[in-house]
Structure 1
Amino acid sequence: MLLQWKKEHKDQAIRDIQQFFYDERGEEIGEIAAENVLDFFSAQLGQHFYNQGIKDSLNVVRDRLGAVEDDLYALERK
């Protein structure tokens, strides 16, 4: 697993999952079940979100480098 949860963030995510199940399905699930859901989705989907974040970051860096390049060309003396 790529993601290392801080305890307070993981605990909040577990509570959020429990609340989601209650709100959407009328089911009360325990902490272990909610943690299993979190672990499952982290393992199955985490890499996809991570990879998309890398692609998005790369696009931002490319855009910024393009802007810097434009600024440098504007400084050329003619």
Structure 2
Amino acid sequence: MSKIDFSRAEKEVMVEKLKSYFSEKLNHEIGGFDAEFLIDFFEKELGVLFYNKGLRDAQSIISTKVEEIVDTIYEIEKPVSFK
């Protein structure tokens, strides 16, 4: 897996969301630097878990769609009779 890179704008949104979460849910103020540091930790230490879960979910969706395609092909198959 290659390194997950977020744009500056994406990281800023994550920082604001994390600061808001700490404030609203934990009744604790966290600075932008600390929030970014925490995001970097999640990215480095836990990101692979989220990444792999996303891959498994995508694989499941693709597998389901392929099964639907196979069923559709069988439905349009023409009968063949040999005498």
By the TM > 0.5 criterion, same fold?
yes
Percent identity between matched residues is 26
1:56 aligns with 57
Judging by fraction of residues, say which structure has more helix.
Answer: 1
What stretches of structure 1 of length at least 5 have no aligned partner?
none
Count of residue pairs the alignment pairs up: 78
Runs of 4+ in 1 over 2 A off after TM superposition: 24-27
Q: TM-score, normalised by structure 1?
A: 0.88
Q: CA deviation at 1:61?
A: 0.8
What stretches of structure 2 of length at least 5 have no aligned partner?
none
Q: Is the 8 A contact 1:2 1:46 kept in 2?
A: no
Q: TM-score, normalised by structure 2?
A: 0.83
Which moved further from structure 2: 1-10 or 48-57? 1-10
Partner-residue secondary structure (3-state), 1:2: coil
Within 5 Å, give how 1:17-56 maps onto structure 2: 17-56=18-57
Q: CA deviation at 1:42?
A: 1.4
CA distance, structure 1, for counterparts of residue 29 and residue 9 of structure 2: 21
| Cα distance per residue 1:27-74 (max 9 Å; x no partner) | 222111111111111112110111011111111111111111111111
CA distance, structure 2, for counterparts of residue 41 and residue 25 of structure 1: 18
Determine if the alignment matches structure 1 residue 67 to structure 2 residue 71: no
CA distance, structure 1, for counterparts of residue 60 and residue 36 of structure 2: 34
